[in-house]
Amino acid sequence: MKKFIISAVCVMAMASCQTQQSLYSWYDSEDAIYTYTKRGTEETLAKAMAQYEKVISKQKGLRKVVPPGVNAEYGYLLCKAGKKEEGLTLLRAEIKAYPESEKFISRIINQLEK
């Protein structure tokens, strides 16, 4: 019986490893963002923002870091929603995490700072 339980646990552990291959946790962000870009309402924006917060604060993927573009996208939306300082901080965080994004993101930052 003990052996059975041990092997069952092993199988479960292996199964969970298989599903843990994702580099990043996305939660429902893609869908929320898609819905927001399609409808553009206050309600869909709030839902998208909640998802960004989750993706930024709760990374359970293999890399344990925020996926490419997420800090930038959220920062960009915050700037557009009037939270400029908060937004710019996130845009700068994108460059810090992904230096290869600098060319594009600093262009955006320059536009927003004007």
Choice between 6 and 23, CB closer to other proteins: 23
CB of 1 to other proteins, least distance (A): 26
CB of 70 to other proteins, least distance (A): 8
Choice between 35 and 49, CB closer to other proteins: 35
Tally of CB atoms within 10 A around 87: 21
Task: Compute CA 33 distance to the chain's CA centroid, rounded to the nearest angstrom.
Answer: 11
Query: DSSP letter string over 61-105?
Result: STT-SPPTTHHHHHHHHHHHTT-HHHHHHHHHHHHHH-GGGHHHH
Q: Which spans of this chain sit near other proteins (rule: CB under 8 A)?
A: 15, 18-19, 21-24, 26-28, 30-35, 37-38, 62-63, 67-70, 72-73, 76, 98, 100-104, 107-108
Choice between 3 and 62, CB closer to other proteins: 62
